[in-house]
Structure formats: C-alpha cells, structure tokens
Amino acid sequence: MKTLTARRFRNSGIAIVAALLLVWLSGAMTTALRDTARQTGWILFSMICFLAAYNLRKKLPFLPLGASATWLQFHIYVGLLTAVVFGVHVGWRIPNGLVESLLATLYLFVFASGVIGLFLSRSLAKRLTTRGDEVLFERIPVYRNRLQAEVETIVFEELDEAASTAVAQFYADRLRPFFAQTRNFWQHLVQSNRSRFGLLNEMQAYRRYLNDAERETMARLVTCVEAKDDLDYQFSLQATLKYWLFVHVPLTYALLVFAILHLLLVSAYSGGIS
Ligand code: HEM
C-alpha cells in the first residue's frame, strides 16, 4: 500500500514538473516572439495518438507490448498532462472556427469522460464488494428470472392454501413490476436505499392485514426482495463500469478524425505539414 502511494506521489510529481516546464517554455518562446502553436500541436497530437493506442494494446493482448497496468498508469498521467498542452496550444482561449470548436469540444468530452471513468472505476469497484454476492454481469438476467419464478411459486402456493387473496394482491400491485426488470438504476449508482426501504416498510405495514400463515409467506418474500435489490445494485454498478468506455472510446476516434482534419486544414493554409 505504501509503495502504491509512493508511486502515485512520484508519478504526479513528474507530471506536474512536466506541465510547469511546458508552460514556462511556451511562455519563454512567446516572449521571444516565436510561435509555439505548431510545436504544441504536434506534441498534443502525439500524446492523443499514444492515448488512443491503449485501445489497440487492449485488443491485442498477445503482443509483447508491456503490462496493461503500466499502460494504464502512463495513460492516466499522459491523459492529465494533455490538459496543460491543450491549454497552451489554444492559448487558454475558447477557439473560434467550426472545426476548431468541434475539435476542442470533442477533446474536452474525451478528457472529462476519462476523469469521470477513472473516478467511477476506482469507487464502484470498491463498492461492488459491499453488497450482495459478486455475480458475473452476463448471469444477472438469469438470476433475476430465477428469483421472479421463486416469488411466483411462493405466491401461488399461498393462493392455493389461504382463504384470502391479500398476499397475491400485494404481489400483483407492488412486487410483480419490481421483479419483472432491473429497478432503481440511478439510486443504486448514488448509493441511495430509499426505494429498498420504502418497499420493505410497505411490506412491514401490510402485515396488519394478514394472518399468521400469510405473515410467514410475506417474510419469505422479504428475503426475495432483498436479494433482488442486491442484484439490481450489482447490475447498476457493473453496467456503469462496463459502459462508460462506450463513451470514452468512440469519442476518442472522433477526436482523432477531427485532429487529422484540423492538421490538414492548418497545413493547407500554411503551405505544408512540418
Ligand atoms: C484526452 C485524451 C484521451 C484519450 C484519447 C483517451 C483514450 C482512451 C482509450 C482509447 C482507452 C482504451 C479503452 C479500451 O479499449 O478499453 C482509454 C481507457 C481509459 N482511459 Fe482514456 N483517454 C484520454 C484521456 C484520459 C484521461 C484524462 C483519463 C483519466 C485521468 C483517462 C482514463 C482512462 C481509463 C481509467 C481507461 C480505462 C482503463 C481500463 O479499464 O483498462 N483517459 N482511454
């Protein structure tokens, strides 16, 4: 743990020194009336190509391209450093021109999605271990169907034996929609238990209309509700961990396309790529 903190400290230090150096160098060159846009543009483009190459590294794990964990470390620090290079490149101003504005917007979205994704992957991965059994994402629908079938069996058994339809009525009104599909996606993501406790409180309050046998059935249903809610929690967190990359990666490719377009336009106006 200590080495991890030390490594983060060292890497952050290197990134900060590199950022300061870059800002200082660009300031010095501007004072000497030298245009830095070309140099910073190429540095930024190379950094973005390196960051995008992480996708290839993940797609070709069999090639001897170094450990994925090392790539991720470089990815994070180089990714953060691009913010400074980008700022220097655009002169800390909002760019004008259609391609430049689109390019800047794309860059900001890729950067923001990276930072948010990093935060999510760190925090959600920890939270996943705190509630319910860790289940394979692809198996979640199977477990949900199983739970729904179990609940229906309990309710129908009760209906056969009991004189009243109170439990079946509660199931039809409140539990069937709950078990039919994943529920409370956003609440689970922000760690809110409001719906869970709301439903459990309703079940508790409903007990006053039930006889002893029906109360026992209701207790079994409570266990199923808790298990289904835990499953929804796992779904919500795992889906977010999985799908944030579906924003980060396609935007990366759009960014590369616009960066190349920008490069071609700039070189057409300035008489060649150099
Ligand atoms: C600004 C330019 C950036 C580009 C072009 C870029 C591009 C990419 C690409 C192509 C991947 C590979 C995804 C895959 O194939 O699974 C990726 C993953 C990732 N990026 Fe970025 N990224 C950028 C910035 C950032 C920043 C600033 C951060 C965070 C500070 C970040 C954090 C991550 C993380 C955490 C992953 C997923 C790693 C994993 O789960 O293995 N990225 N990025």
CA 252 / ligand 1 centre spacing (Å): 9
Give residue 197's pLDDT. 97
Give residue 134's pLDDT. 84
Around Cβ 172, how many Cβ atoms within 10 Å? Answer: 12
Q: Where do the domains of the chain lie?
A: 2-130+244-270, 137-240
Give residue 272's pLDDT. 59
Q: Which of 131, 139, 151 is nearest to 233 (CA)?
A: 131
What is the chain written as a DSSP string? -HHHHHHHHHHHHHHHHHHHHHHHHHHHHHHTT---HHHHHHHHHHHHHHHHHHHHHHH-TTS----HHHHHHHHHHHHHHHHHHHHHHTTTS---SHHHHHHHHHHHHHHHHHHHHHHHHHHHHHHHTTSS----GGGHHHHHHHHHHHHHHHHHHHHHH-SS-HHHHHIIIIIHHHHHS---HHHHHTT--HHHHHHHHHHHHHGGGS-HHHHHHHHHHHHHHHHHHHHHHHHHHHHHHHHTHHHHHHHHHHHHHHHHHHHHHHHHHHTS--
Give residue 245's pLDDT. 95
Q: Which of 120, 143, 119, 124 is nearest to 133 (CA)?
A: 143
- What residues contact 256, with CB distance under 8 A and at least 6 apart? 48, 49, 52
For ligand 1, is residue 55 a contact (CB within 6 Å)?
Answer: yes
Among protein residues, the one whose CA lies closest to atom 15 of ligand 1: 55
How far is CA 79 from each of CA 19, 264, 269, rounded to the nearest angstrom?
12, 24, 29
Give residue 18's pLDDT. 85
Give residue 248's pLDDT. 97
Question: Residue 222 in contact with residue 203, Cβ under 8 Å?
Answer: yes
pLDDT in tens, the chain (274 residues): 457 788 888 888 888 888 888 888 877 777 766 778 888 999 999 999 999 999 999 998 888 888 888 999 999 999 999 999 999 999 989 998 899 999 999 999 999 999 999 999 999 999 999 887 889 999 999 999 999 999 999 999 988 887 789 999 999 999 999 999 999 999 999 999 999 999 999 999 999 999 999 999 999 999 999 999 999 999 999 999 999 999 999 999 999 999 999 999 998 877 655 5
For ligand 1, is residue 48 a contact (CB within 6 Å)?
Answer: yes
- Whole-angstrom distance, CA of residue 79 vs CA of residue 147: 43
CA 138 / ligand 1 centre spacing (Å): 24
Pocket test residue of 58, 248, 255 for ligand 1, highest count of atoms within 8 A of CB: 248
Question: Residue 43 in contact with residue 85, Cβ under 8 Å?
Answer: yes
Give residue 273's pLDDT. 56
Give residue 32's pLDDT. 65
Q: Which atom of ligand 1 is nearest to the CA of 80?
A: 27
Give residue 2's pLDDT. 54
Question: Residue 47 in contact with residue 37, Cβ under 8 Å?
Answer: no
In whole angstroms, what separates CA 179 from the centre of its chain?
25
- Whole-angstrom distance, CA of residue 234 vs CA of residue 255: 32
